[in-house]
Amino acid sequence: MRNTFRYFKTSPEIIRLAVMMYVRFPLSLRQVEDLLHDHGVAMAPQGRHQKSWTTVYQTGPSIMLNSAHCTLGEQLHWIAKERPPYILSYPTNFHALALRCQASGIEMPWLKSLVTFSEALSPGQRSVIERVMGVTVEDMYSAAEVSMIALQCPEHPQYYHVQSENVLVEVIDDDGTPCAAGETGRVLVTDLHNFAMPFIRYEIGDLAQFGPPCACGRGLPVLQRIFGRVRNMLYLESGEQLFPDIAALHLHEIGPLQQYQMIQKSYHEIEMRLILSRPFRDGEETRMRKMILSALGQSFDLALVRVDEIPRHSSGKFEDFISEVAP
């Protein structure tokens, strides 16, 4: 008899439990995973094997990295051992892995594609990941409450097609007025297939922009920019907000940078936490400081702090920018 579970490291009993919870109750995949974890059931330490990633991405054999419970080094070691052609993970995790690969001279010629989800993928992150890993990034805009919201257009990857068959998306300003194409506003979602506990005009905490119709010919609404969480914005004393795309600075080209996290402590103070493979030398710290301050375009007191570890969220997500000034 064919073994249905041969691609999975997790026991069949746990898989059956997860499927039962997902089918019987109005839960997303992320919520099922969180519930299992809360009761002592986590993914296999190495990650999750899959034939493909949903019917949307017919990838062939793929894995989802276990970034919540494994260090970057452990993930890289396992990837090198398993050599999966397709990998799924958060954008921040892939970006951190790419920086570590570049610093250590690691290459993965067997890779065919990387799929990102659950977080906003910035242009800077995409650029670093694709250049270092040598493959394209396929991104989906999703949320735990409603699953898939929009998918990257295969012909015009700067645009995302809203999955209007399953979810309605609105982008509104602070007064509740719908935003025109190109205007940044708050994202509201209404799911269409959650009959037990529907979300109606639910604000998920993200900011985004609608765009013009896509030249690919698909008639679905288009998001041309997804900025992510409000708490990932830089707040100015004037009341304005900016989205710092730190990955676009390519700081790893200046010094031995393996990972970083920027924290806005106040309207005038920024702390940059750095994991370095060696101490700064030959003016590297000065050049990095100048580049960061120039990119921010504002007058900040910048503290560069070397650390051994940057903690992640319990879900495995990593935030490269956090504002403690956010309301």
User: What does the pLDDT profile of the chain (327 residues) look like in tens digits?
Assistant: 456 655 555 556 566 666 766 665 566 665 565 555 444 443 444 555 555 555 555 566 667 776 666 778 888 888 888 888 888 888 888 988 898 888 888 899 999 989 888 778 888 889 999 999 999 898 888 887 787 899 989 889 889 999 998 899 999 998 999 999 999 899 999 988 877 778 899 998 888 999 999 999 989 999 998 887 765 778 888 777 777 767 667 777 787 888 888 888 998 899 999 888 888 888 888 988 888 888 877 788 999 999 988 877 655 667 778 888 866
User: Residue 58's pLDDT is what?
Assistant: 58
Q: Which of 165, 133, 151 is nearest to 54 (CA)?
A: 151
CA distance 30 to 92: 17
* Topology annotation, domain 234-323: GMP Synthetase; Chain A, domain 3 (3.30.300)
**Whole-structure pTM over 0.75, yes or no?**
no
Residues 279/257, Cβ–Cβ less than 8 Å: no
User: Residue 211's pLDDT is what?
Assistant: 94
CA distance 146 to 199: 8
User: Residue 237's pLDDT is what?
Assistant: 81
User: Residue 177's pLDDT is what?
Assistant: 95
Report domain extents, the chain. Answer: 1-42, 43-140, 144-232, 234-323
Tokens of 284: 């590297």
- CATH class of segment(s) 43-140: alpha beta
Q: Do domains 144-232 and 234-323 have the same CATH topology?
A: no
User: Residue 181's pLDDT is what?
Assistant: 93
Tokens of 145: 């409450």
User: Residue 169's pLDDT is what?
Assistant: 95
Q: Please give the single-letter amino acid code of residue 279.
A: P
In sequence order, which residues have a C-beta less than 8 Å from that of residue 129 and are 6 or more positions away? 91, 94, 95, 98, 114, 137
Q: Is 316 left (phi over 0), alpha (psi -120 to 50) or beta?
A: left
Tokens of 140: 């989906």
The CATH architecture annotation of domain 144-232 reads: Roll (2.30)
User: Residue 28's pLDDT is what?
Assistant: 62
User: Residue 36's pLDDT is what?
Assistant: 54
User: Residue 240's pLDDT is what?
Assistant: 75
User: Residue 85's pLDDT is what?
Assistant: 87
User: Residue 1's pLDDT is what?
Assistant: 47
Sequence-distant contacts of 164-170: CB under 8 A, at least 24 apart: 164/220, 164/221, 165/192, 166/191, 166/192, 166/193, 167/191, 167/192, 168/192, 169/221, 169/223, 170/201
* Total count of residues recorded for the chain: 327
Q: Which of 258, 262, 319, 306 is nearest to 73 (CA)?
A: 258
User: Residue 45's pLDDT is what?
Assistant: 44
